[in-house]
């Protein structure tokens, strides 16, 4: 009996070519696993394609709700944004995919997991750290890092390899954008984006929405409610998180929300340029922040921002299944206990405009914040506070003056 390998299968050219390659070079029985994180119609026709390529079996695993509840929402609550711009769409999906691959491997009694990530990208790290953390006994096969047996270096060579193995599939020779899509976002790399001096060709590039210039001239009003940091309703309708993100994607896309052009620092040491579309995610993050600023005290907010930045780096580097991620998430969850309330805003030509926030746990006090004197605040108290708060500055200035004499 042949050993089994579980292949992280997308149905694209790379993973299609890998199926006969695994059989030819290692004698494996190939079990394909496509993990659905909300990539939509990209899954159409996968079973026929996998079987035609020589796979023994194909699993299509819908983990969309798990992805939203257990991976996206911890990042939203943490305010995790990598390098001030990237909302971690690909990064958050990789650990849930790794988890699903391990589950299939255990069910099938496989001895190895194979992925098609290249040796230049972040995904190889994210997949493999997840697999090592969950199943250290499984072998990991990364064809692009095995030049002694993987000798296909172009799209054309992969197509010819498939044809030579009786696989005639509808892949074109042309070069397009390299994309990754799930419910949270879609990323675009390649073509004109490879040169930072080039402007993105948004007319050809965008999938989820339009540019702000092409958005409608009227505002779209949105109301959301949250309970303990988690969105519960959108425009008065109660929905699960995945449904809210789906609806926000539509609203944000048509209003030109969430388009980011970034040159980011990859884990492997190089810079890469890409365009991310994250319409629903951008709105959800902003709505959460809008509510949270009403509720958290200053010191907790400052610490949360610091840890949120570190949380983003942990996720970006593929270290989801680590004690540090768990510890930071535990802190974040403790801050979310009272992040409950209603958020109103308007979407207009790429902008998210506040339209009112309320919470039963708001720390905003009108008597304190008003320019008129309230019961809780005596303006004269500020004199002693400023004297003590500025004492180190005053002492230093006096000592410097003495030294100069």
Q: What DSSP assignment string belongs to 96-139? A: HHHHHHHHHHHHHT-SEEE----TTSSHHHHHHHHHHHH-TTSE
Euclidean distance between CA atoms 230 and 224, whole angstroms: 10
Residues contacting residue 64 through CB under 8 Å, at least 6 positions apart: 36, 37, 38, 183, 242
Euclidean distance between CA atoms 389 and 50, whole angstroms: 68
Euclidean distance between CA atoms 288 and 92, whole angstroms: 18
Which of 309, 268, 308 is closest to 128 using CA atoms? 268
Query: What one-character DSSP code corresponds to residue 82?
Result: B
Q: Average pLDDT across each block of 10 residues of the chain; the chain has 405 residues. List them in order.
A: 95 93 96 94 80 94 98 98 97 98 98 96 97 98 96 89 86 78 97 97 97 98 98 98 98 98 96 98 98 97 98 98 98 98 98 98 76 69 91 93 89
Please answer whether residues 258 and 283 qualify as being in contact, where contact means their C-beta atoms are separated by less than 8 angstroms: yes
Query: What one-character DSSP code corresponds to residue 68?
Result: I
Total count of residues recorded for the chain: 405
By CB neighbour count within 10 A (0-12 exposed, 13-18 middle, 19+ buried), where does 7 fall? Answer: buried
The catalytic residues are 14, 94, 123, 178
pTM of the predicted structure, to 2 decimals: 0.93
Residues contacting residue 328 through CB under 8 Å, at least 6 positions apart: 78, 307, 310, 311, 314
Please give the pLDDT value at position 304. 98
Going along the chain from its start, the domains and CATH numbers come out as: 4-70+88-164 (3.40.50.620), 178-296+339-358 (3.90.1260.10), 368-404 (no CATH)
Please give the pLDDT value at position 122. 96
DSSP element (H, E) containing 313: helix 298-316
Please answer whether residues 177 and 207 qualify as being in contact, where contact means their C-beta atoms are separated by less than 8 angstroms: no
Report the DSSP beta bridge partners of residue 272: 264
The secondary structure of 185-214 as a DSSP string is: -EEEESGGGGSTTSPP-HHHH-SS---GGG
Which of 86, 100, 134 is closest to 317 using CA atoms? 86
Please give the pLDDT value at position 47. 87
Residues contacting residue 26 through CB under 8 Å, at least 6 positions apart: 3, 5, 141
Query: What one-character DSSP code corresponds to residue 336?
Result: T
Please give the pLDDT value at position 365. 79
Please give the pLDDT value at position 391. 92
The token pair that represents 315 in the structure block? 């996720």
């Amino acid at each position: 009996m042949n050993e089994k390998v579980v292949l992280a299968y997308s149905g694209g050219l790379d993973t299609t070519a890998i199926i006969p390659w695994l059989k030819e070079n290692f004698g494996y029985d190939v079990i394909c696993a496509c993990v659905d994180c909300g990539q939509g119609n990209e899954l159409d026709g996968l079973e026929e394609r996998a079987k035609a390529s020589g796979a023994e079996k194909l699993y299509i695993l819908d983990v969309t709700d798990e992805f939203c509840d257990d991976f996206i929402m911890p990042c939203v609550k943490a305010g995790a944004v990598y390098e001030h711009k990237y909302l971690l769409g690909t990064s958050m999906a990789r650990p849930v995919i790794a988890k699903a691959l391990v589950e299939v491997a255990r069910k099938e009694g496989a001895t190895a997991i194979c992925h098609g990530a290249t040796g230049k990208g972040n995904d190889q790290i994210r997949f493999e750290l997840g697999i090592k953390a969950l199943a250290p006994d499984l072998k990991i096969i990364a064809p692009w890092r095995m030049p002694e047996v993987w000798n296909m270096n172009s799209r054309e060579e992969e197509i010819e390899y498939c044809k030579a193995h009786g696989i005639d599939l509808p892949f074109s020779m042309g070069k397009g954008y390299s994309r990754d899509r799930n419910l949270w976002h879609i990323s675009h790399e390649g073509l004109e984006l490879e040169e930072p001096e080039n402007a993105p060709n948004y007319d050809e590039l965008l999938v989820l929405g339009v540019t702000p210039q092409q958005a409608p001239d009227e505002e779209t009003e949105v109301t959301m409610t949250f309970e303990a940091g988690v969105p519960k309703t959108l425009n008065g309708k109660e929905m699960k998180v995945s449904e809210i993100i789906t609806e926000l994607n539509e609203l944000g896309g048509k209003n030109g929300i969430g388009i980011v052009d970034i040159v980011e620092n990859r884990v492997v040491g190089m810079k890469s340029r890409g365009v991310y579309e994250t319409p629903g995610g951008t709105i959800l993050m902003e709505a959460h922040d809008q509510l949270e600023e009403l509720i958290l005290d200053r010191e907790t907010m400052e610490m949360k921002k610091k840890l949120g930045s570190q949380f983003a780096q942990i996720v970006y580097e593929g270290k989801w299944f680590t004690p540090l991620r768990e510890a930071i998430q535990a802190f974040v969850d403790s801050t979310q206990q009272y992040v409950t309330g209603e958020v109103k805003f308007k979407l207009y030509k790429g902008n998210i405009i506040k339209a009112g926030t309320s919470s039963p746990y708001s720390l905003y006090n009108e008597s304190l914040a008003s320019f008129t004197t309230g019961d809780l605040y005596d303006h004269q108290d500020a004199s002693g506070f400023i004297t003590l708060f500025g004492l180190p500055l005053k002492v230093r200035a006096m000592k410097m003056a003495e030294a100069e004499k």
